[in-house]
Structure 1
Amino acid sequence: MARVVVLDYGSGNLRSAERALQRVGATVEVTADHRAALDADGLLVPGVGAYAACMAGLNEVKGGRIIGERLAGGRPVLGICVGMQILFERGIEHGVLTEGCGEWPGTVERLEAPIVPHMGWNTVRAPEGTKLFAGLDPDARFYFVHSYGVRKWELEASEVIRPPLVTWATHGDDDFVAAVENGPLWATQFHPEKSGDAGAQLLENWLKSF
């Protein structure tokens, strides 16, 4: 049975994530303990609210260091919602720039759509070879709630031996990154823990990647 730590840094639907992982067979601990987070089979990084507030909480528990140390050892990490956004270089909200973890180049910025926030169910466009969305119907819908996102993928394929797999979604006429698979680092802009059977299948796929 996979052991997963949900990183508790003061942001995110911790209990929802815990219950969703338990339902698909994981043993789950919600904690900010450095050793527990490093030793777990998988680390889930949640996040809701403002980018700057999430980064402040993450820095308080040295979450960026935990994520970096896990990835250096090829240990799986899954970011959800703002927990995905903080993996990028920077976020800009209300004209304020906040430095992120810098695992990927790119900027989290306000969506350009007639209606913001983007709230509710939406489909995604997963790339060929995806493991995160394996076994899921291409028309499967996932639950989103966000006003900001990554609207441009800035990591060029020539910069890496094996480029990440990037999944996209559209709100209004605005395309944004909905998920990324990059070695042991996976992330989703939507909430799999709130996405019913499709979200459960996605979390199972993550557990199977360990």
Structure 2
Amino acid sequence: MIAIVDYGMGNLRSVHKAMEKVGFAAAVVREPEEVVAARGVVLPGVGAFRDAMANLRRAALDEAVKQAIGRGKPFLGICLGLQLLFETSEEFGSTHGLGIFPGRVRRLPPGLKIPHMGWNHVHWQKPVPLTRGIPDGTAFYFVHSYYVDPGDQDLVAGVTDYGIPVTAMVSRDNVFGIQFHPEKSSTLGLKILQNFGELVSTC
């Protein structure tokens, strides 16, 4: 079973339906024990970084996520769920994240239309299981005002251009994060979720 973490923020229903549409059992979970027990974990999210971290800590879901990752379970962060994997965010001052990856979450610079909302082409930087069967340059749907600035460029698996290079996907070992919304990105967005589900099923 794939656990979709409910911490009070995010597009849980659409992610849940998308996982089931591509053929994998998933459940929205709220208890730390359910996160740790799952075969794979998805951390979705829409909203403010500071509020998200407060909600995760209040429910002890932050430690459950770290424990699941530490045990090697396939993990996927989507949009805000990607950003939470990093050390800090400058949204509303400075807020500590989960610290799984080195780096900072920054606001898109002045002069760009914010939020970044719409379809953008993503170029793969390295082969990862989630992008199997998906051509380089495929367009995915983005909605965000902040972007991740990784402290280790080896993490970067996909990049899009929005006036500046924006990290669209990161990957290291069993942990993946994507800035766009695969559940809103048509057939090839669903293919990413299918690839994640197949990865979970082999672990």
TM-score (norm 2): 0.93
Deviation at 1:164, TM superposition (A): 3.4
Deviation at 1:103, TM superposition (A): 0.6
Deviation at 1:114, TM superposition (A): 2.2
1:136 and 2:126 matched: no
1:199 and 2:197 matched: no
1:103 to 100, 103, 113: 100
1:188 counterpart residue number:
178
1:12 to 10, 23, 38: 10
Partners in 1 of 2:25 and 2:60 — Cα distance? 23
Deviation at 1:27, TM superposition (A): 1.0
RMSD (Å), alpha carbons: 1.3
1:169 counterpart residue number:
160
Aligned residues: 199
Partners in 1 of 2:156 and 2:152 — Cα distance? 11
Partners in 1 of 2:96 and 2:186 — Cα distance? 33
Preserved contact between residue 22 and residue 190 of structure 2 (Cα < 8 Å): yes
Question: Is there any run of 5+ residues in structure 1 with no aligned partner, and where?
Answer: 157-162
Letter of the structure 2 residue corresponding to residue 191 of structure 1: H
Partners in 2 of 1:201 and 1:49 — Cα distance? 25
Name the stretch that deviates more: 125-134 or 79-88. 125-134
Identity %: 36
Letter of the structure 2 residue corresponding to residue 208 of structure 1: E
Does the C-alpha gap of structure 1 residues 139 and 155 become closer, same or farther in structure 2, counting only changes over 3 Å?
closer
1:77 to 71, 75, 78: 75
Q: How does 1:143-162 map to 2 (within 5 A)?
A: 143-150=141-148, 152-155=149-152
Does the C-alpha gap of structure 1 residues 155 and 128 become closer, same or farther in structure 2, counting only changes over 3 Å?
closer
Partners in 1 of 2:141 and 2:61 — Cα distance? 26
Partners in 1 of 2:57 and 2:156 — Cα distance? 27
Partners in 1 of 2:46 and 2:79 — Cα distance? 7
Question: Is there any run of 5+ residues in structure 2 with no aligned partner, and where?
Answer: none
Preserved contact between residue 126 and residue 157 of structure 2 (Cα < 8 Å): no
Post-superposition Cα deviations, 1:132-173, rounded to whole Å, max 9, x if no partner, equal 1110122321110001011x32126xxxxxx535311111x2
Post-superposition Cα deviations, 1:47-97, rounded to whole Å, max 9, x if no partner, equal 101111111111122122111111111111110000110110000124x11
Deviation at 1:174, TM superposition (A): 1.1
Q: How does 1:42-61 map to 2 (within 5 A)?
A: 42-61=40-59
Partners in 1 of 2:66 and 2:184 — Cα distance? 27
Preserved contact between residue 116 and residue 142 of structure 2 (Cα < 8 Å): yes
Preserved contact between residue 4 and residue 44 of structure 1 (Cα < 8 Å): yes
Letter of the structure 1 residue corresponding to residue 147 of structure 2: G
Partners in 1 of 2:166 and 2:103 — Cα distance? 12
